[in-house]
Structure 1
Amino acid sequence: MGKGTAALLAATFLLASCSNSSESNNAVKELNNQPTAAAIQASATPSTPDKIVISASPSPQPTAIEKSDSGSLATPNNTNKASDGTSSTEIPILYHMNKNYDIIPNEAGTNKKIILLTFDDGPKDAAMINPLMDILDKHHAKAIFFVNGYRVKEHPELLELIHSRGGIIGNHSWDHIVLKDQPYAKVKQQLEDVQKIVKKVIGEAPHFFRPPHGAGGDVGKKVAAENSLLYMTWSVGSLDWEMKEKETGKTDKLIKNVSSQLHSGSNILMHELPWTVEGLETLLTTLEGKGYSFVDPRSIELKMR
């Protein structure tokens, strides 16, 4: 091989090596410039803030339709809205009040051996209210608490206590005066001032009215109707208001007084008194033993028949 040929071959080999080295370097550069898997993942995943707040209105829930003991369906047209301070539900309307102030089933087949429990002249004292409510809860009983406006003004927290524990609030006038001989304007003030203060304290006005001493007269009935209040007195008096603090055997007298007048639909008048609270457990147990149960006041129509 001549020197010229050898030199030509050497030059060709060197040129090929340089070209391969350049392509290799370019390939390395391209490889280094490719995004890593982590980088690709990061690019594909949008950044997420530390907290995500989603605001959305819940889907409307269907209206519950309950079935009463009589078998009739309770629809929005025959239910009362009921609030006990902790919840709000629909209560089927199963009963009405007659002119004797007894509680009567609306339909045949509905339990008629029931009793309405009521307590007047409060709210007075948490030391009486709490044990009274404990007893009612134990017997799964509801009661109307007919309150006086001046007492609510003095102790609104006691009204809140009754309401929060499931008591149904009734209107017993502001000053506990005999209303039947009072002028219309006076009676109107006595009732409507209670409506206002009760609504201010617990958020809803009473639906039941009982005149002090059972003496509302025509003017009391008129003003009650104007305020969509169900007017009532009672059909069974416990006579607890006639008992004295130092008198003995008050529980036995309470039970005897109630039992002697007891009948289906009895509307029992009691008071927020220490001896009534003391005898209430025995009284309710006795009544249940006679086959009676306790009506929820919210299941009563707000008009008399």
Structure 2
Amino acid sequence: MKYTKLMSMSLLALMLAACGDEETKTTTSAPTQQEVEDEVVEDKEVEKDEEETQEETEEVTAPLEPLYTLNEANWSFKPIADAPSKVVLLTIDDAPDKRSLEMAKTLKSLNAPAIFFVNGHFLDSDEEKAVLKEIHNMGFAIGNHTQTHANLKQLTEDEQRAEIMQVSETIEAIIGEKPKFFRAPFGANTDFSKALVKEQGMLLMNWTYGYDWESNYQDANALKDIMVNTEYLTDGANLLMHDRKWTAEALGGIVEGLRAKGYGMIDPSTIQGVTGE
């Protein structure tokens, strides 16, 4: 009787072991045809997603094709091929003084691109440097407007070089890239400064019209009216404004007034000579 009981327990143990072996065989068996096909489909979908992500990245980082070329006769811009012709370029000089960040936020809210031309003497403090970096991070182009806003025609060649190079080096240290545009204070260029600007890969420009330094237009309403209704407003016009209280107050109305007349705003990155073409 005792022997029989031992035999029964042994048989039970063998049966359990056999079941365990069978379960192991089942869980480690070769995948079915359907499982293989599903895995292939999944791999293809992953590859497709990776390709689409790479294409999207390339599309974002690819340089824009030039759409406009500078006309030095009146410093306006001509469309290339089928680019819209009824456009203007917005520019802000003397940045980043007291109102530049406010002006950048106004333009950003209106989806209006612009160039902010920088003076080096407005980049002395960490706070001023942070403002410039924020303006750049908002997507605005940064231009060179010399170190001290000096009249280049009154300086020696060495002094002109210092005025231009110092601010370019400061800008690069702050935003990680050199400025692509140059505007001389008072529009006073020299043969030396023109050659240096070209050597540094910057596009030299003056402006088509501007008013905010004149006493009659140091008022937001008066400035808004003249900027939108002046006889000098033509296709491709290069609009000069400054970091000023009245200009900051008028800026939104200027953009809206120009758009009401059918004008679009030129993206500075589409100007020939700065797109890497």
Q: TM-score range by the shorter chain?
A: 0.7 to 0.9
* Distance change in 2, residues 1:32/1:268 (3 Å): closer
Distance 2:55 2:108 in 1: 30
Distance 1:300 1:286, change over 3 A: same
Query: Alpha-carbon deviation of 1:134?
Result: 3.4
Tell me which residue corresponds to 1:203: 176
Query: What's the offset of the Cα at 1:168?
Result: 1.1
Equivalent in 79, 87, 91 of residue 105 of structure 1: 79
- The residue number in structure 2 matching 1:241 is 213
Map 1:224-239 → 2, pairs under 5 A: 224-237=197-210, 239=211
CA positional deviation for 1:248: 7.2
Q: Percent same amino acid among aligned pairs?
A: 30
CA distance in 2, matches of 1:89, 1:152: 31
Q: Residue 140 of structure 1 is aligned with which of 74, 90, 111?
A: 111
- What letter matches 1:296 in structure 2? D
CA contact (8 A) 2:92 2:240 kept: yes
Q: How many residues align?
A: 250
Pair member with larger Rg: 1
1:28 partnered with 2:12: yes
Tell me which of the two structures has the higher relative contact order, counting C-alpha pairs closer than 8 angstroms and 6 or more residues apart: 2
1:27/1:123 CA distance change after superposition, 3 Å = same
1:252 aligns with 2:196: no
- Normalised by the size of structure 2, how large is the TM-score? 0.78
**Residue 158 (str. 1) matches residue 131 (str. 2):** yes
1:79-94 maps to which residues of 2 (within 5 A)?
A: 90-94=63-67
One-letter identity of the residue aligned with 1:224: V
User: 1:140: how far off?
Assistant: 2.1
Match of 1:268 among 239, 242, 261: 239
Three-state SS of the structure 1 residue aligned to 2:123 is: helix
What's the CA shift for 1:88? 5.2
1:167-219 Cα shifts (integer Å, max 9, x gaps): 21000011110112423222222212222111111111110000111102111
Quote the Cα distance in structure 2 between the aligned partners of 1:193 and 1:248. Answer: 31
Match of 2:142 among 153, 169, 172: 169
What are structure 2's unaligned runs of at least 5 residues?
29-49
What CA distance in whole angstroms lies between the structure 1 residues aligned with 2:108 and 2:231? 25
Asked if structure 1 preserves the Cα contact closer than 8 Å seen for 2:67 and 2:79, the reply is yes
Q: CA offsets, 1:245-287, max 9 Å, x none?
A: xx87542245325623111110011001010011112222221
More helix by share: 2
Letter in 1 for 2:108: D
Partner Cα distance (2:204, 2:218) in 1 = 35
Mapped to 1, the partners of 2:273 and 2:189 lie a distance apart of 18
TM-score normalised by L of structure 1: 0.71
1:76-114 per-position Cα deviation (integer Å, ceiling 9, x unaligned): xxxxxxxxxxx856433111101121111112x321111
Q: CA RMSD in A?
A: 3.3
User: Which residue of structure 2 lines up, in the alignment, with residue 8 of structure 1?
Assistant: none
**Residues 1:212 and 2:185 aligned together:** yes
Report how far residue 144 of structure 1 moved. Answer: 0.4
